[in-house]
Structure 1
């Protein structure tokens, strides 16, 4: 397939590129600094904080699917994901590309947003996670999760065939391929490697049951 990968030099994006190439996909990497792209792929420079519509349309035109590892590198950068994803969605709609897979976060399942002010209880959360862990994490990273919840509003408001993967805490452990997924629910674990999240994102391309769904993932 022809894949366009946004944030291709980020923690998850690097794994997406490497795994996509290993599966013999043709990759376009969209990054702020093409000099950081070490793989032999087509690289396009774009800043999703100040998006240029023509550049983004060039990046996604002709793609079979778009994958985004977009997210803040530091807590102070929280707020990039929703507007950046909106710019991606607009470019896809302008070029007729429909399949989009993005990364979100597990606590977003119960995070209120303008489009979903009263989110349902997550059926995959145990008592400790629901009563103790999730509230603590939301309090510490509230701005980040508000941004991700609004990103998912952008997806639901679009007519695209999107999938949002919701991992818990990310690690830098190697790819195992041994992870659980759950549609519209937490997958039950507290950790998952970035490499396995990338694997799950690519696997979602062949899972039509994940279209227009959020998917929990965990090791």
Structure 2
């Protein structure tokens, strides 16, 4: 399978890269710093805060799937998920590449945007404790979540064959090799998932073609 991986040197993207290479996929990495990649991985130097649509169109041409682990790592990166994903979508439309898998977050189904102002106040998969805790997290990460919500709008309106993967709190624990999924909502009372299993879930989505919004958690 020919994969293009955006943000392949990030905390989650690097794990997706390792799994994809181990599975024998042909991977091209879109990264700001190619020197951080393992030796021999083809790459295209890309700053997703200021993307080059033509370069992205060339990089994604002929891919079976594009997988994006884009997300802000600090306040200086605010907006990168929306900006970078919009450029990826434009590039894929230009060259006819159809399959897109993106990383979002569990609370985004309740973050309103100008395009989708009437989102529910709570996710149907969240139990009482999560419903109490989520507003606190949303306030603390308001800029990050707004960026992801706007990014989701770009994907949902793209016309591509897309999957949005929404995990809860991420840990650096070892892979368990098993997780729960739920279509269009969060898994019931899903508090955490390791980045290792999140990466596996994202690669699985690219390989199997499962579409829509997918909540993942233990």
Q: What TM bracket, shorter-length normalisation?
A: over 0.9
Instruction: Find the counterpart in structure 1 of residue 106 from structure 2.
Output: 106
CA contact (8 A) 2:110 2:123 kept: yes
Question: 1:17 Cα shift?
Answer: 0.6
Instruction: Find the counterpart in structure 2 of residue 97 from structure 1.
Output: 97
1:179 equivalent to 2:158? Answer no
Gaps of 5+ in 2: none
Q: Deviations over 1:99-155 (max 9, x none)?
A: 00010000101110112101134210112211x111000010011111111111001
Instruction: Find the counterpart in structure 1 of residue 147 from structure 2.
Output: 147
Distance (Å, rounded) in 1 between the aligned partners of 2:5 and 2:193: 21
Runs of 4+ with >2 A deviation: 75-78, 205-208
Instruction: Find the counterpart in structure 2 of residue 41 from structure 1.
Output: 41
Instruction: Find the counterpart in structure 2 of residue 57 from structure 1.
Output: 57
| Structure-2-length-normalised TM-score | 0.95
Pairing 1:152-163 to 2, within 5 Å after superposition: 152-163=152-163
Q: CA RMSD in A?
A: 1.2
CA contact (8 A) 1:175 1:196 kept: yes
Distance (Å, rounded) in 2 between the aligned partners of 1:20 and 1:37: 14
Distance (Å, rounded) in 2 between the aligned partners of 1:207 and 1:140: 35
Question: 1:207 Cα shift?
Answer: 3.9
Instruction: Find the counterpart in structure 1 of residue 80 from structure 2.
Output: 80
Give 3-state SS (helix, strand or coil) of 1:109's partner. Answer: helix
1:217 equivalent to 2:212? Answer no
Question: 1:42 Cα shift?
Answer: 0.7
Q: Deviations over 1:138-177 (max 9, x none)?
A: 0100111111111110011111001010111111112222
Instruction: Find the counterpart in structure 2 of residue 196 from structure 1.
Output: 197
Give the number of equivalent residue pairs: 216
Give 3-state SS (helix, strand or coil) of 1:205's partner. Answer: helix
CA contact (8 A) 1:18 1:39 kept: no
Give 3-state SS (helix, strand or coil) of 1:128's partner. Answer: helix
Distance (Å, rounded) in 1 between the aligned partners of 2:197 and 2:22: 14
CA contact (8 A) 2:126 2:190 kept: no
Pairing 1:62-73 to 2, within 5 Å after superposition: 62-73=62-73
Gaps of 5+ in 1: none
Q: Deviations over 1:3-44 (max 9, x none)?
A: 000000001110111000111100001100111111532111
Distance (Å, rounded) in 1 between the aligned partners of 2:129 and 2:89: 36
Distance (Å, rounded) in 2 between the aligned partners of 1:189 and 1:64: 31
1:20 equivalent to 2:32? Answer no
Question: 1:50 Cα shift?
Answer: 0.9
